[in-house]
Structure 1
Amino acid sequence: MSAVCLFILILCLYGTARTAAGKAETDGYEVIRIKVGKQVTIQCRSASNQEMLYLKRGLNEEEDIFYLTDSKKSTINQKFTDRLQFHGRVPNVHILLKNLTLDDTGPYWCVYKMSSNYELKTSRGNGSVLLVVTESGPAPSPRPVCTGQSQSDLVLISVVICAAVLIFVLAVFLIWIIIKTKPLRSTVKKRQVPVNDVYEDMRGTIRR
């Protein structure tokens, strides 16, 4: 019974791992290191139809950098008025940031909004980047971070380790139960078998 429960638990953990890996792949982004004064292109993409695209900055997406609607209405943050250009239409838009400064360092998110049933639904698209602007350093070198494959491997390894620890704990628990119950079995008194000596003696008396 314990083996069946353990097997079910491992299957549940594996399913959770795959779900988390898929989500990580969807939310994956790139880190770009670039020198001051250079430029970078952020390629925002979405597989579904969208009405509005926001390029946001900050860990909590608190700052709006750029806004574009499917009707080509756009708004640019004052910090990037003369340094931002865009090409394409919602949902696939290439956003060019020029003359980068140290203050431009941070995460940039491609956020889409779509009205459905009188509600405005928000979703994060592909193309988000972590921009690191340095005074001196190598040329722009996009490098994937937190990709689906690496995250999947990491989660699966964690599942295997958790399963191994669980098996070890169950084995120790079973061994402890066996050791605990063994002295109890040895102390149980054997059941005494009734002796029929009196009955045999009476039979001999009657025959006489």
Structure 2
Amino acid sequence: MSVVWLQLITLLCLSFGAPSRADGYEVIRIKVGKQVTIQCKSASNQEMLYLKRGLNEEEDIFYLTDLKSTINQKFTDRLQFHGQVPNVHILLKNLTLDDTGPYWCVYKMSSNYKLKTSRGNGSVLLVVTESGPAPVCTGQSQGDLVLVSVVICAAVLIVVLTVFLIWIIIKTKPLRSTVKKRQVPVNDVYEDMRGTIRR
């Protein structure tokens, strides 16, 4: 029984956890029709920047080198960029529900006649919603969310363990009788013999 509870608590804790900034991305919730700026940055000198979309970076949204830039046909009238490789600010305007998904800042650099690919900072998980508040989750708020979820999980675990221990104590503790035992006079053969001997 307790194993089931522990598995359930673990599942709840993991499902309410937040992604960390250590992965190099942030989660942005924004309304339909608004705009978002993706800030691609890299510490090292890079030659090419790709903005890719999808879990496996399957769709090229934007490509930039020192000489040219290419914008995906779906985004030609909605995408603007400012800056030079490796630090580029990419503005996506008039967002739709179809724009929801992960966007990756991918850098490529030729070295020894081979292209080396690396992810840069600034990648985002964009969630476009129809209505409601659109908070932007930054590293600090994600850290707070992780801390709150860990505290809640620990409190739930302590309560469950306490209830379980109380249940075990109640089940194993023998019930004490509250009725006092009454002394019954014993009619024993030996007592009768003692009485006749004394006479």
For the structure 1 residues 74 and 166, does the alpha-carbon distance in structure 2 shift closer, same or farther, using more than 3 Å as the test? same
CA separation of 1:97/1:5 partners in 2, compared to 1, >3 Å: closer, same or farther? Answer: closer
Contact 1:54 1:112 in 2 (8 A): yes
Q: What CA RMSD, in Å, does the superposition of the two structures yield over aligned residues?
A: 7.8
Structure 1 residues 178 and 68: CA distance shift in structure 2, 3 A? same
Q: Normalising by structure 2, what TM-score?
A: 0.58
CA-to-partner distance for each residue in 1:74-133, whole Å, 9 max, x for gaps? 000011010000000000000000000000000000000000011100000000000000
Indicate if the aligned counterparts of 2:13 and 2:149 stay in contact, CA closer than 8 A.
no
**1:4 aligned residue:** 4
2:18 aligned partner: 22
| Structure 1 range deviating more: 184-193 or 25-34 | 184-193
1:163-195 CA-to-partner distances (Å, cap 9, x unmatched) read 999999999999999999999999999999999
2:49 alignment counterpart: 53
Q: Which consecutive aligned stretches of 4+ in structure 1 deviate over 4 angstroms post-superposition?
A: 1-13, 21-26, 144-208
Residues 155 and 80 of structure 1: CA distance in aligned 2, closer, same or farther (over 3 Å): closer
Whole-angstrom distance in 1 between the partners of 2:132 and 2:158: 49
Label 1:36 to 1:188 Cα distance change in 2 as closer, same or farther (>3 A). closer
The aligned length equals: 195
Q: Name structure 2 gaps, 5 residues minimum.
A: none
Cα distance in 2 for partners of 1:191, 1:181 equals: 28
Report the TM-score, using the length of structure 1 for normalisation: 0.56
| Residue 205 of structure 1 pairs with residue 185 of structure 2 | no
CA distance in 1 between counterparts of 2:184 and 2:133 reads: 93
Using the aligned pairs only, state the percent identity: 91
Distance change in 2, residues 1:169/1:75 (3 Å) = same
Partners of 1:83 and 1:98 within 8 A in 2? yes
Match of 1:156 among 141, 147, 152: 147
Q: 1:41 to 1:61 in 2, by over 3 A?
A: same
1:107-163 C-alpha deviation (Å, 9 max, x unpaired): 000000000011100000000000000110213xxxx99999999999999999999
SS in 1 for 2:177: helix
Asked if residue 145 in structure 1 is aligned to residue 136 in structure 2, the reply is yes
Q: Please report how far the alpha carbon of residue 28 of structure 1 lies from its aligned counterpart in structure 2 after TM superposition.
A: 2.5
Q: Deviation at 1:55?
A: 0.3
Task: Give the deviation of 1:27 after TM superposition.
Answer: 2.5
Give 3-state SS (helix, strand or coil) of 1:49's partner: coil
| Contact 2:2–2:164 (CA under 8 A) maintained in structure 1 | no
Instruction: Structure 1 unaligned segments of length 5 or more: list them.
Output: 14-20
Work out whether residues 52 and 90 of structure 1, in 8 Å CA contact, stay in contact via their aligned partners in 2.
yes
CA shift in 2, pair 1:186/1:149, >3 Å? farther
